[in-house]
């Protein structure tokens, strides 16, 4: 891997060019950040959990007709993916109020939303990933109105499939963030990762509001037992695949 050309290093992953054109290798790090990297740490085993969970979820979504960048998991923390040009939008889907939605609207934590909420944030660390309005989305013209509609439809469909998958693992899918990219033919496909770093996942067998948290909120809020929570997600997802 060290001889491969590094294309991009983010907060949680490194992307390398592979020997194949149109194929990238993604390496998942144990490094953890929150609040736009103001908080930094390490979650031992996180890279392996996030890579493995993402691989299983991408394969599940592909089986349900959602195009993704996933090709093959080549090591516990390495994945081959189709080369894409990432669309600089973070697409968040919410089923239950938590995080910035409760902070910014006053909705009570745990409120079940009458319908899933899809939000678009600008993927720009320097600007702090701001939430975009429809008019700002149209002004920035990162995607066409038709592409925006495709992103929204794909996000809602992915939400339905992921909810079904996680329900079977006795995990409640509270909310999650997706990234999409254009493949070599210009098609929009799902990219990045789907993991306890990018989802809020609550243990459906646990009613205690802190004990049920199985995702990066344990790190964000200093709740402890972070590694154990990530491993629990890995084992539930691995054992209860549908």
Among the listed residues 134, 129, 144, the one whose alpha carbon sits nearest the alpha carbon of residue 90: 129
Q: Shortest Cβ distance from residue 5 to ligand TMP (Å)?
A: 26
Q: Shortest Cβ distance from residue 139 to ligand TMP (Å)?
A: 22
Interacting residues with ligand TMP (CB under 6 A):
92, 99-101, 129, 175-177, 198-200
Dihedral over Cα of 209, 212, 217, 218: its sign: positive
Nearer to ligand TMP, 175 or 203 (CB): 175
Q: Shortest Cβ distance from residue 84 to ligand TMP (Å)?
A: 18
Nearer to ligand TMP, 172 or 198 (CB): 198
Nearer to ligand TMP, 200 or 236 (CB): 200
Residue nearest to ligand TMP (CB): 99
How many CA atoms lie within 13 Å of 189's alpha carbon, on the beta-carbon side? 22
Q: Which residues pair with 85 in a beta bridge?
A: 182
- CA 24 to chain CA centroid, Å, is 18
CA-CA distance, 189 to 179, in Å (whole number)? Answer: 9
Q: Shortest Cβ distance from residue 178 to ligand TMP (Å)?
A: 9
Nearer to ligand TMP, 18 or 32 (CB): 32
The answer to whether 176 and 87 have CB atoms below 8 angstroms apart is no
């Amino acid at each position: 891997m060290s001889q491969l050309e590094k294309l991009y290093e983010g907060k949680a992953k490194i992307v390398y060019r592979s020997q194949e054109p149109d194929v990238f290798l993604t390496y998942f790090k144990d490094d953890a950040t929150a609040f736009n990297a103001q908080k930094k740490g390490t979650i031992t085993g996180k890279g392996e959990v996030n890579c493995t969970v993402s691989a299983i979820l991408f394969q599940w979504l592909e089986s349900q007709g959602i195009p993704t960048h996933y090709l093959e998991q080549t090591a516990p923390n390495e994945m081959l993916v189709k080369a894409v040009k990432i669309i600089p939008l973070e697409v968040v889907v919410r089923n239950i109020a938590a995080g910035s939605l409760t902070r910014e609207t006053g909705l009570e934590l745990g409120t079940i939303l009458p319908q899933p909420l899809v939000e678009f944030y600008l993927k720009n660390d320097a600007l702090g990933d701001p939430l975009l309005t429809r008019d700002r989305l149209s002004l920035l013209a990162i995607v066409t109105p038709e592409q925006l509609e495709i992103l929204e439809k794909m996000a809602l469909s992915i939400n339905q499939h992921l909810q079904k998958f996680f329900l079977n693992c006795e995990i409640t899918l509270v909310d999650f963030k997706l990234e999409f990219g254009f493949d070599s033919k210009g098609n929009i496909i799902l990219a990045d990762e789907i993991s306890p770093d990018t989802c809020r996942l609550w243990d459906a067998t646990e009613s205690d509001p802190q004990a049920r948290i199985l995702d990066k909120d344990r790190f964000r809020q200093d709740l402890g037992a972070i590694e154990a929570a990530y491993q629990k997600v890995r084992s539930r997802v691995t054992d209860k695949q549908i």
